[in-house]
Amino acid sequence: MTYSDSAVLNIDLAALTQNYQTMKTAAKGAQTAAVVKANAYGLGLAPVVKTLLAAGCTNFFVALAQEGVDLRALAPEATIYVLNGLPIGAAADFAAHELRPCLTSPEQIAEWQDYCQNQAKAALPACLFVDTGFHRLGLSQSQVVDLADAPDAFEGWELCLIASHLACADAPEHPMNAAQLEAFRFALSLLPKAPASLANSGGVRLGEAYHFDMVRTGTMIYGGSATGRVEDALAPVACLRAPLLQIRQLSVGDSIGYGATFTAAREMTIGLVSLGYGDGLSRYFSGKGGAPSPAHLMLNGHPTALVGRVSMDSLAIDMTDLPAPLRAEAKIGDMVEVFGPNNPIDRLAMQGQTISYELLTALGNRYKRNYHD
């Protein structure tokens, strides 16, 4: 087709490389792994991984076993960790694809050990994931103590990494960060000596005490902020733009969109944009209580508020207060910046009471994706 009526997602691979190198520098000598779960945060696993490999990244983290299998096909020599652990009966598949499970329970440790000793007959590497206060996946402190009293549990397989995850790294002053650091150090003191990893993107910014041997960088390399503050973000990697489908006038008393939730209190100029929740922009960005949404999109460098409900395939923006020449020159097909260099993704996320992680990972499949350096 020679035209496009869909949104366009531009992905700046040079910015991705720059952000990875920035985080690598901030890690001050610790290995800098990349988290590429959820299709590389929605930006596309293959081009992202190819770029990161070229930037010197050798360690990757995914959430699911299938993500690890897909990644292995792209990165035959990379070290790949699976955060969600070892599914029951999956040890042979992990071994076949050289995936390293993050073992999160005594049962997973026993299954990996049994496979290594009785079927693989080789000491295959795995990560031990401990809970230091997040209370999500991982061995509890009491389980770590029990494990330390059972040294035979480490026979027959290779403990290649001990890891945990910070709950409040996005809030540098939160006391839980220091508490988790202390708990992690306690776990390390009990367990066999192995490389250690605690810091995610936000954790890198907490200082060298949190870096240990490896840091795991996710949102920061994709241009999001680990704190949610726009000023803390690195170079924007993704720019989402969508075309204007129609420009129309509303009279006083006219409503717009499903549920007639927004009614014009004045003469208004409205732009209909080819983007909706079918493209990953949640209905939560809709205006509420008859008011425009707090979220703004950018038209030719000027902010425009969302009005009415976000529907599956379209949304409405208020063009009324644009400078008169700009409003007069606006035309069908003009591109509206949803997020990007002129509308930071963290600012849009904050306006929609969400986080940039959710905006990125919710990106749909209808976009035309352009990758460039």
Q: Which positions are annotated as active-site residues?
A: 37, 258
Of residues 160, 178, 161, the one with CA closest to residue 169: 178
The two counts, helices (H) then strands (E), for the chain are: 12, 18
Q: What is the DSSP pairing of strand 238-250 with strand 8-12?
A: antiparallel
Q: Which residues of 43-63 are buried (b: 16+ CB within 10 A; e: fewer)?
A: bbbebbbebbbebebebbbbb
HSE value, Cβ hemisphere, 13 Å, CA-based, for 335: 16
∠ CA 339-232-161, nearest 5°, is: 105
| Residue 193 φ/ψ, nearest 5 degrees | -65, 130
Contact in structure between 135 and 168 (CB atoms under 8 Å): no
Q: Which two tokens stand for residue 117?
A: 């000793």
Q: Which residues of 141-156 are buried (b: 16+ CB within 10 A; e: fewer)?
A: bebbeebeeeeebbeb
Count other Cβ atoms within 10 Å, centred on residue 77.
Answer: 8
Q: Which two tokens stand for residue 304?
A: 């425009």
Find the helix packing angle between 65-74 and 45-54, rounded to 10°. 60
Q: What is the DSSP pairing of strand 99-103 with strand 79-82?
A: parallel
d(C-alpha 31, C-alpha 35), whole Å: 13
HSE value, Cβ hemisphere, 13 Å, CA-based, for 214: 22
Contact in structure between 166 and 182 (CB atoms under 8 Å): no
Of residues 205, 120, 192, 121, the one with CA closest to residue 162: 192
d(C-alpha 183, C-alpha 197), whole Å: 13
∠ CA 80-85-88, nearest 5°, is: 120
